[in-house]
């Protein structure tokens, strides 16, 4: 591993958001509409796809709508029985923070965002966190493994990420970073400005720090 760079990190902003960028794309809206057998999908104005999808979901009862959304997003990850159970649990708890498999937390969050739009009183509030960091000196390689280590260094040993993945934080490979960092934006500048989106579960302890130092680095084989 090359020599580690010591970064000075400032937590510029940490606030709640109720959806994350790129959670749903035009292609995924169309895919879900086709999944629930909505007719004439290709004839719809792209700007109206979400509205039509919300109306189509409202034609179902909330649990059935939840099953449809989850089966579309997770049919390659979960069995039908698991999806049916999770569809009901999604109406009761914040499964994007609680479900045992963190690899599908982001999909569970995006599913709930859409279902909450269709059934405002039936699904939990979709609060996630947006964290804006200023980093100096400027960062050459920004990717999820770098960012997961960066936030781990800010939150200290008692944070969930450090308690669960301390060996990955200090090691050469951090595969769980893909599940921890849901989305990010990076602006190459001095300082580098990075915006991270993730759940309250992973990020909330960033509220306890304003500045810190980090020797974060990217996995050796991961591309930016």
Residue pLDDT, tens place only, 159-189? 999 999 999 999 999 999 999 999 999 998 8
Retrieve residue 117's tokens: 């739009």
Residue 221: predicted pLDDT? 62
Q: Identify whether residues 12 and 31 lie together within a single domain.
A: no
Residues 84 and 152 grouped into a single domain: no
Position 220 scores a pLDDT of 75
Examine the domain organization and report whether 159 and 81 are in the same domain: no
Residue 173 structure tokens:
């490979």
Position 75 in a domain = yes
DSSP-assigned letter for residue 169: H
Note the pLDDT tens digit of each residue in 42-80.
999 999 999 999 999 999 999 999 999 999 999 999 999
Residue 154 shares a structural domain with residue 194: yes
Under a CB-based contact definition with an 8 Å cutoff, are residues 222 and 205 in contact? Answer: no
Alpha carbons 160 and 169: distance in angstroms, whole number: 12
Percent of the chain with pLDDT over 70: 97
The residue range of the domain holding 57 is 26-118
**pLDDT band for position 141 (50/70/90)?**
confident
Residue after which a domain boundary falls, among 118, 151, 177: 118
Beta strands in 94-181 (DSSP E): 128-136
On the question of pLDDT at 113 being above 80, the answer is yes
In this structure, are residues 128 and 17 in contact, taking their beta carbons and an 8 Å threshold?
yes
pLDDT, the chain, mean: 94
Q: Which helix (H) or strand (E) holds 213?
A: strand 211-214
- Asked whether residue 104 falls in the same domain as residue 133, the answer is no
- Considering only residues 168 and 140, tell me which one the structure prediction assigns the higher pLDDT: 168
Is residue 1 over pLDDT 60? no
């Amino acid at each position: 591993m090359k020599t580690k760079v010591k970064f000075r990190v400032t937590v510029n902003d940490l606030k709640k958001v109720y959806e994350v960028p790129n959670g749903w794309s035009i292609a995924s809206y169309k895919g879900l509409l086709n999944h629930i057998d909505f007719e004439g999908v290709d004839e719809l104005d792209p700007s109206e796809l979400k509205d039509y999808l919300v109306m189509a979901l409202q034609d179902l009862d909330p649990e059935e709508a939840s099953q449809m959304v989850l089966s579309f997003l997770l049919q390659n990850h979960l069995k039908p029985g698991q999806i049916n159970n999770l569809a009901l649990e999604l109406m009761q708890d914040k499964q994007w923070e609680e479900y045992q498999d963190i690899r599908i937390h982001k999909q569970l969050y995006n599913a709930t965002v859409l279902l909450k739009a269709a059934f405002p009183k039936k699904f939990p509030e979709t609060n996630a966190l947006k964290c804006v960091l200023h980093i100096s000196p400027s960062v050459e390689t920004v990717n999820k493994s770098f960012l997961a280590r960066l936030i781990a260094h800010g939150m200290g040993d008692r944070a969930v990420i450090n308690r669960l993945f301390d060996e990955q934080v200090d090691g050469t490979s951090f595969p769980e970073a893909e599940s921890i960092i849901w989305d990010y934006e990076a602006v190459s500048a001095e300082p580098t400005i990075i915006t991270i989106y993730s759940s309250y579960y992973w990020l909330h302890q960033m509220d306890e720090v304003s500045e810190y130092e980090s020797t974060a680095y990217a996995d050796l084989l991961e591309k930016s």
